[in-house]
Amino acid sequence: GHRAAAPATEIASVCPYCGVGCQVGFRVRDGAIEEVVGRDGPSNQGRLCVKGRFGFDYLAHPDRLTRPLVRISPKDPADCLDPRLARTKFREADWEEALALAAGGLARIRDRSGPNALAGFGSAKGSNEEAYLFQKLVRTGFGTNNIDHCTRLCHAASVAALLEGIGSGAVTAPFMAAAEAEVIVVIGARPTENHPVAATFLKEAAARGAALVTLDPRGSALDRHAQEVVRFAPGRDVPMLNAMLHTVIEEGLYDRQYVAAHTEDFAALREHVAALTPEAMAPLCGVPAEQLRRVARLFARARTAMILWGMGISQSTHGTDNTRCLIALALLCGQVGRPGTGLHPLRGQNNVQGASDAGLIPMMFPDYRHTDDDAARAHLEDLWGARLDPTPGLTVVEIMQAMERGEIAGMYIMGENPAMSDPDVAHARAALTKLEHLVVQDLFLTETAALADVVLPASAWPEKDGTVTNTNRQVQMGRAALPLPEGVRQDLDIIVEMANRLGLPWDYAHPREVFPEMAAATPSLANITWDRLEREGSVTYPCHSPDRPGEAIVFGDRFPTASGRARFVTAGLRDPDEMPDERYPLVLTTGRQLEHWHTGSMTRRAGMLDALEPEPTASLAPAELARRGLAPGQRLRLETRRGAIELAARADPALPEGLVFVPFAYREAAANLLTNPQLDPFGKIPEFKYCAVRVEAVPTR
């Protein structure tokens, strides 16, 4: 018979993967997670996707680092490709020695070359408290604003346009507001893959009768639930959206009262789109004029409508312009600030909202206060007891460029992987190799850690307490379900130890001791306390009273701008930065898959997820494959002006001809060897969604 099993203990926490922020229960038995279950959180109501439910055994993967590592042989960019080779270039060290070396190297560079020879990348996968302390360490211990994180590579363009247009970079409504929307627009986003539980709320809304409109160059599973499916030409968002703005204004469908009461610069928008008719724009964007008009009318006539978007909008040299058009559409029709309306950039990582709020941004302190805002600086100098530099720091990509020029000599990178995620990884790997001193804190010997001087083994999310903030502005409590593996330390403790060795007298022993200070630096967290989160699990900011759940929908009366009004900003027509030509005749776009997360460091070490999607693939339309004499499963070579990779062909009828899709989670065929690093001038985000590529069969020997 079966042995009677000891009951599992269930620890209430949050999923470590995407920005949906599903509340999970980690069921633990004998010191290991046995199962993950969905709890009744506000953003998931018991649901989980495949990553949240099955993607936890990376924790105990044999690759997991449990001892600090110190470099013994020279760095080589090729080490990124071969973790076993990379490992031979380090020896194990105890914590005392490793921390002394890690912090000592940074202090040496600071004292010799000045604060701006250093930089830090914080993590959007840790807690708010860790992100807050990390940026404080860089700003007060290093003495520079060279601090950024992966938000630069995902929603920087959205945030730039939102701050400029409505005075706030966060969502105006949670995705659950779709339940009350008559029309739901999903553009440049694939929530069924990247925000799967959010997608279930959208499908439910469609089943209830809401008109779902999906707009994307690639088809997706959400199209089956849509009333209108708009397949537009890659990189042509701006002409398409301008044609819709034209229709709404020209046909008098806009909300005159709302525009008069809550916006400015309408006249400039009207003039800008006057000639951008659907007929004129149709050939550019590849959408029939009639459909452009139909969708514009549908949106404008709805009593309630919301717009959700993702990387398809933002990862572009015109990402800020794309977002400006979406904001203009919502404002024109008065679709902000009421139930069932709103602007919602779907945030990627579990804590990218919180990491941005906490100040992992080079031009902004916590709560989006500019580094050159004298009042903000005085407040923080008082709170932190340190002098702060008013000069904005460098962004992720600018830091890599400064590294190449030798201007940045030392870096501290926590839980980020620029040797995979940088838009030009060949350059990034060469630049990281040139660094005089690199400290990397991570769970595994990632592609970036392979180039470090000191590697500090990190704690995993289910091993730590801390708060995280999801795409809906819900601040939620995460709790440790497992003890740390022997030899590993809490990330928070490591940051404090590094700070101590850089001359800061910190003694935070637990995130609960950090939270009140973080809240004091972040007025948006008013009325949210650690104890309250312990009790309630989730509170939305802004929150106007200790007894209220927080404001899910914001900007009903006024916008947080100087005038209280939102602003229309026009977007001109520009080509993508690198157009196809004879040598590189196709368009390459990159993104994620349901099963894999970002650079794959966790999900590719999660048994079930890796079994579902074990190898890199390049997807093309069946007709495109046929035209080139290629077959699914065949090995392909993809080449751009920057590099080449080899991977298997996959036929995907959801792709239009002329477009190739490659997921970016695979070390052995890194998509970012191919992508175009050209930046959007405003959000400084690279053009991951568009570059020219050549596709050939790999000759069989």
Interacting residue ranges for ligand SF4, rule: CB under 6 A? 15, 17-18, 20-22, 44, 48-49, 51-52, 195-197
Residue 356 Cβ vs ligand SF4, minimum distance, rounded to whole Å: 18
Say how far apart CA 383 and CA 176 lie, in whole Å: 37
Comparing CB distances to ligand SF4, the nearer of 341 and 350 is: 350
Is 123 in contact with 415 (CB distance < 8 Å)?
yes
| Tokens read off for 307 | 């717009």
Comparing CB distances to ligand SF4, the nearer of 460 and 496 is: 460
Comparing CB distances to ligand SF4, the nearer of 163 and 346 is: 346
Residue 201 Cβ vs ligand SF4, minimum distance, rounded to whole Å: 11
Comparing CB distances to ligand SF4, the nearer of 49 and 673 is: 49
Comparing CB distances to ligand SF4, the nearer of 368 and 597 is: 597
Say how far apart CA 540 and CA 472 lie, in whole Å: 8
Q: Tell me, what amino acid is at 444?
A: F
Find the angle CA(530)-CA(531)-CA(535) to the nearest 5 degrees.
115
Residue 690 Cβ vs ligand SF4, minimum distance, rounded to whole Å: 26
Residue 539 Cβ vs ligand SF4, minimum distance, rounded to whole Å: 18
| Nearest in space to 86 (alpha carbons), one of 615, 492, 450 | 450
Instruction: Calculate the CA dihedral of residues 353, 213, 164, 573 and round it to 10 degrees.
Output: 130
Print the SS3 string covering 380-445. HHHHHCCCCCCCCCCCHHHHHHHHHCCCCCEEEEECCCHHHHCCCHHHHHHHHHHCCEEEEEECCC
Residue 21 Cβ vs ligand SF4, minimum distance, rounded to whole Å: 6
Comparing CB distances to ligand SF4, the nearer of 192 and 317 is: 192
Comparing CB distances to ligand SF4, the nearer of 317 and 471 is: 471
Residue 361 Cβ vs ligand SF4, minimum distance, rounded to whole Å: 23
Q: Which residue has the tokens 């860790």?
A: 130
Residue 22 Cβ vs ligand SF4, minimum distance, rounded to whole Å: 3
Residue 492 Cβ vs ligand SF4, minimum distance, rounded to whole Å: 22
Say how far apart CA 303 and CA 322 lie, in whole Å: 24
Comparing CB distances to ligand SF4, the nearer of 70 and 477 is: 477
Residue 197 Cβ vs ligand SF4, minimum distance, rounded to whole Å: 4
Q: Which residue has the tokens 């570059």?
A: 691
Cβ atoms within 10 Å of 24's Cβ, excluding its own: 27
Residue 186 Cβ vs ligand SF4, minimum distance, rounded to whole Å: 15
Parallel, antiparallel, or unpaired: how do β-strands 9-14 and 23-29 relate?
antiparallel
Cis peptide before 542 (omega within 30 of 0): yes
Residue 609 Cβ vs ligand SF4, minimum distance, rounded to whole Å: 11
Is 559 in contact with 166 (CB distance < 8 Å)?
yes
Comparing CB distances to ligand SF4, the nearer of 51 and 377 is: 51
Residue 52 Cβ vs ligand SF4, minimum distance, rounded to whole Å: 2
| Nearest in space to 21 (alpha carbons), one of 135, 125, 151, 100 | 125
Comparing CB distances to ligand SF4, the nearer of 461 and 559 is: 461
Say how far apart CA 63 and CA 83 lie, in whole Å: 9
Name the burial class of residue 566, with classes exposed (0-12), middle (13-18) and buried (19+) by CB atoms within 10 angstroms of its CB. buried
Is 212 in contact with 206 (CB distance < 8 Å)?
yes
HSE-CB for 25 with a 13 A CA cutoff: 12
Is 458 in contact with 491 (CB distance < 8 Å)?
yes
Q: Tell me, what amino acid is at 256?
A: R
Comparing CB distances to ligand SF4, the nearer of 50 and 426 is: 50
| Tokens read off for 163 | 């701050």
Is 453 in contact with 101 (CB distance < 8 Å)?
yes
Shortest Cβ contact with ligand SF4: which residue? 52
Comparing CB distances to ligand SF4, the nearer of 194 and 678 is: 194
Residue 509 Cβ vs ligand SF4, minimum distance, rounded to whole Å: 29
List of residues 6+ apart from 283 with CB closer than 8 A: none
Concatenate the DSSP letters of all residues of 296-315 into one string. Answer: HHHHHH-SSEEEEE-HHHHS
| Nearest in space to 646 (alpha carbons), one of 619, 618, 680, 675 | 618
Residue 508 Cβ vs ligand SF4, minimum distance, rounded to whole Å: 27
